[in-house]
Amino acid sequence: MSAAVAPRVVIADPLAPRGLELLREQLEVVVSTEPARLPIDLPGAHALVVRSRTQVDAALMDRGAELKLIARAGIGVDNIDVSAASRRNILVINAPLGNVQSTAEHTMALILALARRIVTADASLRSGAWRTGYHGMQLQGTRLGIIGIGKVGRKVAEMAKALGLDVVACDPYVPVEEWLALPARPVDAAELLATSDIVSLHLTLTEETRDLIGSAELAAMKPGSLLINCARGGLVDEDALAQSLQSGHLAGAALDVFQTEPPEGSPLLTAPNVILTPHVAASTREAQERVSTEIAVQVLDFFAGRSVAYPVNCTVKTED
């Protein structure tokens, strides 16, 4: 591929160095991480690389008349209008494996911090108090209910089992024969909510799953239980969760993702016993390097005419 005709790739969100180096070896790379620059840099671009920050809607795609590829360095493609991309015959790809371990580790960090009230204890000590008499929850023997036992959910289940938790899960899309090999016992959603001491969400956000956890589901959860969400903010009705925490029905919640990010004005900011992190579950050096490589290799494969490992909209014709 000669430098003069190298396809142009616009990088809209920060990408870890290894992926950038790989792309620069063969393609023209334009780093356009200032949101105001993106519409200016898109005309003439053949590929657009994003993480979760950039919203790729039809209007943005219209700025890039030559776009053939939209690459999401990470798994969730809810910030990309995939239908609009398909209509324009733009292939969407993602990098679904690179951040699984880091996301599962962050989930476990939140479960441990919430169960042992680490944030409260830290704040209490800094305010001059010493052993104020609160008690944490021992995890061994308690039940963790995982909703969505895909890549991250399975890893969380393995880690939780190693700590001695009783792990149950519900996922209507897992075939019966697959459950035997999974580190979790299948239950239906009603049993999971009613019997779990900790409920952790690991499913994708779709029109079917939006607001999956609302006031009825929170009321169905065991009194004194905990809710963890490291998947997507739109899965949980934040007003209903704040009310449940205020009433004391739920004992705590920990969230890495929000309906609107950043969650300005969210009632969760002032709700009791909540740990909030700013969508950083996948933000480890290791995960970002892996994801950037996973996406760069596919971008190179695409422009070299090879098949890509993780197409999202498989119906797009890639030969033209």
Q: Which of 217, 238, 256, 294 binds ligand NAD (CB under 6 A)?
A: 256
Contact residues for 308 (Cβ-Cβ < 8 A; gap 6+): 91, 93, 298, 301, 302, 318
CA 284 – CA 123 distance, rounded (Å): 25
Is 68 among the residues that bind ligand NAD (CB under 6 A)? Answer: no
DSSP string, 238-289: HHHHHHHHHHTSEEEEEES--SSSS-TT-GGGGSSSEEE--S-TT-SHHHHH
DSSP string, 113-153: HHHTTHHHHHHHHHTT----S------TT-EEEEE--SHHH
User: Which CB atom, from 48 or from 157, has the smaller least distance to ligand NAD?
Assistant: 157
Is 263 among the residues that bind ligand NAD (CB under 6 A)? Answer: no
CB 184 within 8 A of CB 167: yes
- Using CB under 6 A as the binding rule, the residues of this chain from 120 to 149 that contact ligand NAD are 147-149
Give yes or no: 87 in active site.
Answer: no
Give yes or no: 279 in active site.
Answer: yes
Minimum CB–partner distance for residue 60 and ligand NAD (Å): 20
- Using CB under 6 A as the binding rule, the residues of this chain from 153 to 172 that contact ligand NAD are 153, 170-172
Q: Point out the catalytic residue in the list 143, 279, 290, 294.
A: 279
Is 150 among the residues that bind ligand NAD (CB under 6 A)? Answer: yes
Is 281 among the residues that bind ligand NAD (CB under 6 A)? Answer: yes
Q: Please give the positions annotated as active site.
A: 232, 261, 279
Which residues bind to ligand NAD, rule: CB under 6 A?
A: 75-76, 96, 99-100, 103, 147-153, 170-173, 202-205, 208-209, 230-232, 256-257, 279, 281-282
